[in-house]
Amino acid sequence: MKKTNLFDFTYPELEKTLEEINLPRFRAKQLFDWLYKKLVFDFDLMSNFSSEQKRIFAKKFRLYIPTIEHVAHSSSDSSYKFLLKTDDGKQIESVLIKEKTSSRERSTICVSCMVGCPLGCKFCATGSEIGFVRKLSCAEIVGQVLAILKHAQENNYSQKITNIVFMGMGEPFLNIEQVQKSIALFTSTNGISLSPSKIAVSTAGIGPGIAQFINETGIRLAVSLHFPTNELRSEYMPINKQFPLDKLFAELKKINLKKRDHILIEYLMLDGINDTLTHVKQLQKLVHGLKVKINLIPYNPIKKFRAKTSSPKSIENFVAYLKGKGIFTSVRHSKGIEVEGGCGQLALKNHG
């Protein structure tokens, strides 16, 4: 009998499967408690099951999550980059970012949804240095979070996580089934138990289906826009040829945003490429009529794309122009740069 990975089951799916083997539904709750609350990944250690039940579980299910191979800690900004290995030997990366302000503490885990990425954005280490290998399963996505939580538990640092973002390797809308399943586990009260508003997916703009997905799940959306015209965008982000800006923005306008919600627009600041007054005017025109927050991201250079980040003055001018038009704008100082876990920097390094 082929064993199924238990981390590939949503809660209702597990209840149904247990019923099929004549086990009561409440056993699903007990199993989920061990896996998602107590972080115990070994049937033998689950004390509220009989030996016979443990034998049945072990016969029917696998318990496998990616294993952590290497952790790099950035002391300057309290981020940790994890190199993980899947059971077929593929490497993926996740980042834990800890932020503390006077009013709140945030622990965000940035997960990957693919090994590599097929979209090949020129400025992105994942797309340009790894290419595309394969999609990740739900268990491999959820497993990144669980492996990091377990690592935190074993190393005595805070296991409380407040946010999950799909901003690592891969395009979520090209692996939507597994991403959706993992979101069900992240938001289930029996699972990781996060509010949908604490979860965000970032897309390079795979047009159809974005609005329906966001409207149904209630999670947040970030769009890696980066360029304000089709000409520029198609040059650096090939996906734009398939889903040009008019199609993308028509889709974004279909999203039902709640009162205090917004769409996050991510915009890399590239010196002389997309950071002039003309560009900021084009950007403002593009987002006009949408509730957005714009996040300007100083560029972190990668090997294959040696553009420079915009000067502080150009960034300042961008911010001033957008704020002058009433658009909430911030500048992200990428967390994790020191360990190359900043935006667009997830490309496996030799950690040997």
Tell me which residues are annotated as active site.
93, 343
Q: Which is nearer to ligand SF4, 28 or 110 (CB)?
A: 110
Residue 117 sits in the site that holds ligand SF4 (CB under 6 A):
yes
Instruction: State the residue number with the nearest CB to ligand SF4.
Output: 127
Retrieve residue 278's tokens.
Answer: 């003309």
- Kindly state the number of chain residues that form the binding site for ligand SF4, as judged by CB under 6 A: 13
Indicate which single residue of 53, 120, 234, 247 sits in contact with ligand SF4 (rule: CB under 6 A): 120
Minimum CB separation of residue 44 from ligand SF4 in Å reads 39
Buried b (16+ CB within 10 A) or exposed e, 172-206: bbbbbebbbbbbbbbbbebbbebeeebbbbbbbbb
* Start-to-end C-alpha separation, the chain: 38
183: tokens are 């979101």
Residues numbered 306 to 345 that lie near ligand SF4 (CB under 6 A) are 344
**Least distance from C-beta 218 to ligand SF4, angstroms?**
23
Give how far Cα 80 sits from Cα of 130, 151, 185, Å.
Answer: 21, 11, 23
Q: Does 204 bind ligand SF4 (CB under 6 A)?
A: yes
Contact call for residue 130 and ligand SF4 (CB under 6 A): no
C-beta of 332: minimal distance to ligand SF4 in Å? 15
> In this structure, what are the phi and psi dihedrals at residue 10, rounded to the nearest 5 degrees?
-80, 170
Helix (H, G, I), strand (E, B) or coil at 12: helix
Q: What number of residues does the chain have?
A: 352
Work out how close the CB of 148 gets to ligand SF4 at its nearest, in angstroms, rounded to a whole number: 20
Minimum Å gap between C-beta 241 and ligand SF4 is: 14
Kindly tell me which of 111 and 204 has the beta carbon lying closer to ligand SF4.
Answer: 204
x-or-dash string of contact with ligand SF4, 166-185, rule CB under 6 A? ---xxx--------------
Asked if 268 touches ligand SF4 (CB under 6 A), the answer is no
Out of 121, 199, 292, 307, point to the residue binding ligand SF4 (CB under 6 A). Answer: 121
Q: Which of 149, 231, 127, 45 is nearest to 30 (CA)?
A: 45
Task: Give 113 or 152: the residue with its C-beta nearer to ligand SF4.
Answer: 113
Residues 69-91 as b/e (b if ≥16 CB within 10 A, e otherwise) read ebbbebeebbbbbbbbebeeebb
Contacts of 250 (CB under 8 A, 6+ apart): 207
Residues that bind ligand SF4 (CB under 6 A): 117, 119-121, 124, 126-127, 169-171, 204, 224, 344
